[in-house]
């Protein structure tokens, strides 16, 4: 079949690589993709949020499956757009409907869903401008640190964590009255702080059944030791050493199963990937957030470990025929290191020639933000530029391979974290 993948980052390059491996895939198109993805498909300059243009392309190129990488087209209703069209309704669009995508699109919706379905999460309340004073009173009932979340999509930047009560009240006021975070902050969720270590869990669901994908940990801050501002992700590791069989059993029983049951009971049309961000609090999982898509840079370590045919699995999900057999997963460890532009996540320049890519032999290179210049050389074209993923029998070996690859590549201002995975080594020593 012909497949169209929407998106342009490292996540989509990792998905494209796996999709292209499938014997079920004839032509793979990636819109808009990036310069590095030409090795697995044809990139096309389409805006994923322009549904008319996407629909027209699908008709013209006889596409049978559309895989949606990022959240924006899903929250914007691409699944509903296809379902409503006589010409497009049989195209398998992999992702949730607009209503189901509210699990990511609205933090208040997601928290209410968790409460209704008995899914462990931090205690919370949502406030609007009219109820700002109640919000300030609610903050007084909580212990610091205080967690304030803009309700809507804010590109991963809508969460503020503060230690000082007065500062928290002031930030609440700025979010509700001064549009800090724009319309995304018209409603603010205030919640209890969860103290633990984070893990990203992924499932492919047909709205009733589910398959658990490998779990991963990502590294969000720019600096070593988790210092500095948040980024789109600086590296990732899968599997996660502290997520042993016992913990994953709890995740499946306490979190995944009731989530999918809730989706089914509430008649949400969800046929795609669900990303559950969890906090491990003393061995028990609590949901921090749902995302209606795969994670980035987690996909860069999760997808390389999947040995089952992902196109077949996505097709089964769309047809609501997912079975309970487990996916085939490579037991090795995958570790990824993200190379970014100097200055990122604040301002940075692009267009620098990338040297040394041809020397990489021990890692898979996923392009996150590259372009080709008029000499046909790869140049930087984003904050996050390249992701190096390596597989090995142990976490230290996988990390070593990715770091050795990182050393071979350079451009002006290239930066990467040097401590990916280091916090996990202690769990490997556990008896």
Which residues sit at the interface with ligand GLY, rule CB under 6 A?
156, 218, 233, 291, 295-296, 298
Our finding on whether 53 is near ligand AMP (CB under 6 A) is: no
Closer to ligand AMP by Cβ: residue 75 or 310: 75
Pick one of 24, 99, 132, 159: the residue that binds ligand AMP (CB under 6 A). Answer: 159
Q: Give the other-Cβ count within 10 Å of 56's Cβ.
A: 14
Q: Which stretch binds ligand AMP (CB under 6 A): 28-36, 192-200, 387-395, 423-431?
A: 192-200
Q: What is the pattern of x (binds ligand AMP, CB under 6 A) and - over residues 274-303?
A: ---x----------xx--------------
**Alpha carbon distance 11, 362 (integer Å):** 20
| Closest C-alpha to 233, from 7, 5, 10 | 10
Nearest distance, CB of residue 131 and ligand AMP, angstroms:
20
Pick from 174, 198, 355, 419 the residue near ligand AMP by CB under 6 A: 198
Q: Cβ distance 40 to 20 under 8 Å? A: yes
112 touches ligand AMP (CB under 6 A)? no
* Residue 47, phi-psi category: left (phi > 0), alpha (psi -120 to 50), beta (remainder): beta
Residue 365 binds ligand AMP, judged by CB under 6 A: no
**Which entry of ligand GLY, ligand AMP, none binds 233, CB below 5 to 8 A by partner kind?**
ligand GLY
Q: Give 203 or 276: the residue with its C-beta nearer to ligand AMP.
A: 276
Q: Which is nearer to ligand GLY, 92 or 222 (CB)?
A: 222
Q: How far is the CB of 378 from ligand GLY (least distance, A)?
A: 24
Nearest to 169 by CA among 142, 122, 123, 137: 137
Which CB atom, from 104 or from 309, has the smaller least distance to ligand GLY? 104
191 contacts which partner out of ligand GLY, ligand AMP, none, CB within 5 to 8 A by kind? ligand AMP
Angstrom distance (rounded) from CA 266 to CA 281: 28
In this complex, which beta carbon is closest to ligand GLY, that of residue 111 or of residue 293?
293
Phi/psi at 294 (5° precision):
-80, 165
Segment near ligand AMP (CB under 6 A); pick from 187-195, 241-249, 347-355, 405-413: 187-195
Query: 3-class DSSP state for residue 391?
Result: strand
- What does the block give as tokens for 254? 């306490």
Q: Is 194 in the site for ligand AMP (CB under 6 A)?
A: yes
Q: Which residue is nearest to ligand GLY (CB)?
A: 295
Where helices occur in 25-142 by DSSP H, the ranges are 51-60, 72-75, 78-84, 102-105, 107-116, 132-141
Rounded CA Rg of the chain = 21
Cβ proximity to ligand GLY, 135 vs 233, nearer residue: 233
Please give the Cα distance from 336 to 345 (Å, whole number).
19
Q: According to CB under 6 A, which residues from 8 to 27 bind ligand AMP?
A: none
How far apart are alpha carbons 271 and 181 in whole angstroms? 30
Tokens of 191: 């919640």
CA–CA dist 48, 293 (Å, integer):
14
Tokens of 373: 């210049």
284 forms beta bridges with 281
Considering only the stretches 54-62, 191-199, 259-267, 268-276, report the one whose residues sit in contact with ligand AMP under the rule CB under 6 A.
Answer: 191-199
Residues lying near ligand AMP in the complex (CB under 6 A) are found at: 122, 147, 149, 156, 159, 191, 193-194, 198, 277, 288-289
């Amino acid at each position: 079949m012909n497949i169209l993948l929407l998106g342009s980052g490292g996540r989509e390059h990792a998905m494209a690589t796996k999709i292209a491996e499938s014997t079920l895939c004839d032509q793979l198109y990636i819109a808009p993709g990036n310069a590095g993805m030409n090795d697995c498909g044809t990139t096309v300059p389409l805006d994923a949020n322009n549904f008319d243009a996407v629909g027209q392309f699908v008709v013209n190129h006889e596409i049978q499956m559309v895989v949606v990488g990022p959240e924006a087209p899903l929250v914007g209703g691409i699944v509903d757009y296809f379902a409503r069209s006589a010409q497009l309704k049989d195209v398998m669009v992999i992702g949730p409907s607009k209503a189901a995508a509210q699990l990511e699109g609205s933090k208040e919706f997601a928290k209410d869903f968790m409460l209704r379905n008995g899914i462990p999460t931090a205690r919370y309340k949502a406030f609007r401008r009219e109820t700002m004073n109640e919000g300030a009173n609610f903050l007084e009932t909580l212990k610091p640190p205080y967690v304030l979340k803009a309700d809507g999509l804010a590109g991963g930047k809508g969460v503020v964590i503060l230690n000082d009560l007065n500062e928290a009240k002031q930030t609440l006021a700025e979010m509700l009255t001064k549009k800090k975070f724009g319309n995304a902050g018209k409603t603010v969720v205030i919640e209890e702080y969860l103290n633990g270590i984070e893990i990203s869990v992924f499932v492919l669901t047909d709205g009733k059944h589910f398959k658990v994908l490998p779990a991963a940990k990502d590294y969000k801050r720019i600096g070593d030791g988790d210092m500095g501002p948040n980024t789109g992700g600086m590296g990732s590791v899968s599997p996660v050493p502290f997520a042993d069989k016992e913990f994953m059993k709890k995740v499946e029983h306490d979190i995944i199963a009731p989530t999918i049951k809730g989706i089914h009971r509430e008649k949400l049309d969800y046929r795609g990937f669900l990303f559950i961000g969890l906090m491990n609090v003393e061995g028990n999982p609590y949901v921090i957030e749902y995302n209606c898509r795969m994670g980035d840079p987690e996909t860069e370590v999760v997808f390389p470990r999947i040995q089952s045919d992902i196109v077949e699995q996505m097709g089964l999900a769309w047809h609501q025929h997912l079975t309970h057999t487990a996916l085939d997963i490579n037991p090795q460890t995958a570790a990824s290191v993200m190379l970014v532009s100097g200055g990122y996540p604040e301002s940075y320049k692009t267009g620098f020639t990338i040297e040394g890519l041809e020397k990489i032999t021990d890692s898979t290179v996923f392009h996150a933000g590259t372009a080709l210049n008029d000499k046909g050389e790869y140049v930087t074209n984003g904050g996050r530029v390249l992701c190096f993923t390596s597989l090995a029998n142990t976490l230290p070996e996988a990390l070593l391979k990715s770091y050795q690859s990182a050393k071979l590549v350079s451009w002006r201002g290239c930066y990467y974290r040097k401590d990916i995975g280091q916090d996990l080594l202690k769990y490997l020593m556990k008896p």
